[in-house]
A and B are shown apart, each in its own frame.
Chain A
């Protein structure tokens, strides 16, 4: 039962990553691309957690937590750069 659900969820999240990549490459403006990168790391967290359930391994949460931390810092730094023209003033 869980195996079938996992396959469905893997497919859906994989399609979501494809849509996000489309917006990342296409996106007409810089905030669009930053938003796409933000969504991309959240989707990656979902993929990693699903992989952890699939393999029955606990190790992937540390990786997911690290991606969450670094992704947030990256988004804030990029937005700050767009807003002020500088990251650390």
Chain B
């Protein structure tokens, strides 16, 4: 039973990682590209790390906590680096598919 759950988690993690990088390669401007990997990749790596924690807990007969450390660190740092990247892109005024904040042509209401 646990084996099926682990296999499912591993495949789900692989699929999420793949979709995140596919978004990075395929989407059309930087701001949409930022959306793909920062969400899907952390979710994918989260699934794989949970599977790994469960696998080694079963293998050793005691809870394995290394993975929780990696997961925690990734979940804390991913939003920070995404925020910094968005700030850098706005600073460099990269082209965007939609108008960026503060450069709308039509006045709002």
Does B92 contact A82, Cβ atoms closer than 8 Å?
yes
Q: B104 at the A/B interface (Cβ < 8 Å)?
A: no
Number of A-B contacts (CB under 8 A): 160
Given A2-B10, A45-B70, are A39 and B20 also a contact pair (CB < 8 Å)? yes
Bound complex: CA A64 to CA B10 (Å): 17
Interface range on chain B: under 10, 10 to 19, 20 to 34, or 35 or more?
Answer: 35 or more
Given A30-B92, A83-B88, are A15 and B18 also a contact pair (CB < 8 Å)? yes
The residues of A that contact B100 with a CB separation of less than 8 Å are: none
Interface range on chain A: under 10, 10 to 19, 20 to 34, or 35 or more?
Answer: 35 or more
Q: Determine which of A6, A69, A76 lies in contact with B10 in the assembled complex, contact meaning CB atoms within 8 Å.
A: A6
Does A53 contact B81, Cβ atoms closer than 8 Å?
no
Q: Interface SS of chain A: helix, strand, loop or mixed?
A: helix
Q: Determine which of A19, A42, A53 lies in contact with B52 in the assembled complex, contact meaning CB atoms within 8 Å.
A: A53
The residues of B that contact A31 with a CB separation of less than 8 Å are: 30, 85, 88-89, 92, 94
Does B21 contact A19, Cβ atoms closer than 8 Å?
yes
Query: Closest chain B residue to A80 by CB distance?
Result: B84
> Which of A16, A23, A30, A49 has the largest count of B CB atoms less than 10 A from its CB?
A16
Does B33 contact A35, Cβ atoms closer than 8 Å?
yes
CB distance from B11 to the nearest CB of A (A): 5
Q: Which residues of B contact A (CB under 8 A)?
A: 3-4, 6-8, 10-11, 13-15, 17-18, 20-22, 24-25, 30, 33-34, 37, 41-42, 44-45, 48-49, 51-52, 55-56, 59, 64, 66-67, 69-70, 73-74, 77-78, 80-81, 84-85, 87-89, 91-92, 94
The 10 closest A-B pairs by CB, nearest first: A9-B14, A16-B21, A12-B14, A5-B7, A79-B84, A61-B66, A19-B25, A39-B37, A19-B21, A12-B18
